[in-house]
């Protein structure tokens, strides 16, 4: 039960003046139940990569296996794959279209062909998971605030009961409070339902606090792949490609340069605090 990507390449507008190589020989294994962060600068191929995972884009060459079945095989049911691999696009609130929030969340499960009762049940469950209470069910999606709209849109995917949840910049354009709420809820879903979560972001802080594995994309290639504290040790290389390590990494690195004996493998504020206290001998 996993996603396996083999030698995947993707070229936009192949064969004319606008040709652009977006993915170049990607090899990845995404085991079940992992919480993965995909980071990279704009145009690094991260959005293209995640659209490959549920078959919205088809690789120019290479293969993708979902549970050991190649998704490009003839007769492979793309629709089933899209139920299993839920993809929340950037600014998902722009896909809302129904008259009420509840109906909009019902759209996904309805397309799966479930009975009306089950559809409603799933929609309510999903809305609960993202923290939208009953008072919003009958409201028009366009009356909601930005953060609420986004949560309604995420619920629209969750209602399909995906085994893999992919989120493309779920916190873009949200205030810090809205950002933390959404990320906390995703973390909760991950622990409670054990689903695989792939979080695409360019904010290191976001990613560092939540994920257990980071994939760094650069120019269509995987540049680093590992646990956060290891990846952030390459902060100089990360800076070169327009990214950065979390601020606390810089703090501990700076202290080390000034002669402190300190553990620099920290990614969160809490870890940094402990490392500093330890170094002070307290």
Residues that bind another protein (CB under 8 A): 12-13, 16-17, 51, 54, 56, 79, 82-83, 86-89, 92, 94-97, 107-108, 111-112, 142, 156-157, 160
> CA dist 108 to 5, 96, 177, 218, Å?
26, 12, 28, 33
CA R_g for the chain:
20
Pairing of strands 20-31, 61-66: unpaired
- Least separation in angstroms between residue 46's CB and another protein is 15
C-alpha count within 13 angstroms, C-beta hemisphere, residue 248: 22
Q: Which is nearer to another protein, 88 or 214 (CB)?
A: 88
- Least separation in angstroms between residue 50's CB and another protein is 10
CA–CA dist 87, 199 (Å, integer): 10
- Least separation in angstroms between residue 91's CB and another protein is 9
> CA dist 256 to 65, 101, 139, 164, Å?
44, 52, 54, 40
**With the CA atoms of 34, 37, 38 and 40 taken in that order, what torsion angle do they form, in degrees rounded to the nearest 10?**
-160
CA–CA dist 73, 7 (Å, integer): 16
Q: Which is nearer to another protein, 167 or 276 (CB)?
A: 167
- Least separation in angstroms between residue 82's CB and another protein is 6
Q: Which is nearer to another protein, 113 or 281 (CB)?
A: 113
Q: Which is nearer to another protein, 11 or 241 (CB)?
A: 11
CA–CA dist 70, 195 (Å, integer): 21
Q: Which is nearer to another protein, 37 or 156 (CB)?
A: 156
- Least separation in angstroms between residue 236's CB and another protein is 35
Q: Which is nearer to another protein, 112 or 180 (CB)?
A: 112
The length of the chain, given as a count of residues: 282
CA–CA dist 101, 128 (Å, integer): 12
- Least separation in angstroms between residue 279's CB and another protein is 47
């Amino acid at each position: 039960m996993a996603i396996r990507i083999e030698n995947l390449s993707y070229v936009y507008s192949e064969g004319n003046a606008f040709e652009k190589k977006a993915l170049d020989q990607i090899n990845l294994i995404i085991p079940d139940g992992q919480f993965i962060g995909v980071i990279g600068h704009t145009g690094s191929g991260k959005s293209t990569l995640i659209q490959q995972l549920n078959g919205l884009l088809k690789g120019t060459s290479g293969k993708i296996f979902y549970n050991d079945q190649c998704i490009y095989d003839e007769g492979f049911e793309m629709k089933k794959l899209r139920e299993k691999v839920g993809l929340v696009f950037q600014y998902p609130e722009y896909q809302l279209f129904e008259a009420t929030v509840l109906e909009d969340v019902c759209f996904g499960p309805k397309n799966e062909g479930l009975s009306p009762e089950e559809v409603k049940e799933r929609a309510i469950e999903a809305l609960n998971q993202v923290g939208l209470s009953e008072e919003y069910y009958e409201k028009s999606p366009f009356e909601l605030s930005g953060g609420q709209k986004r949560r309604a849109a995420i619920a629209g995917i969750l209602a399909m009961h995906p085994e893999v949840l992919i989120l493309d910049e779920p916190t873009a354009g949200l205030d810090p409070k809205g950002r933390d709420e959404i990320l906390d809820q995703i973390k909760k879903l991950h622990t409670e339902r054990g689903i695989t979560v792939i979080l695409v972001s360019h904010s290191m802080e976001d990613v560092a606090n939540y994920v257990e594995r980071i994939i760094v994309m650069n120019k269509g290639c995987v540049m680093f792949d590992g646990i956060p504290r290891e990846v952030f040790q390459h902060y100089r290389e990360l800076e070169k490609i327009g990214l950065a390590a979390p601020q606390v990494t810089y703090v501990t690195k700076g202290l080390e340069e000034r002669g402190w004996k300190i553990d620099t493998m920290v990614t969160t504020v809490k870890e940094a605090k402990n490392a500093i206290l330890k170094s002070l001998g307290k």
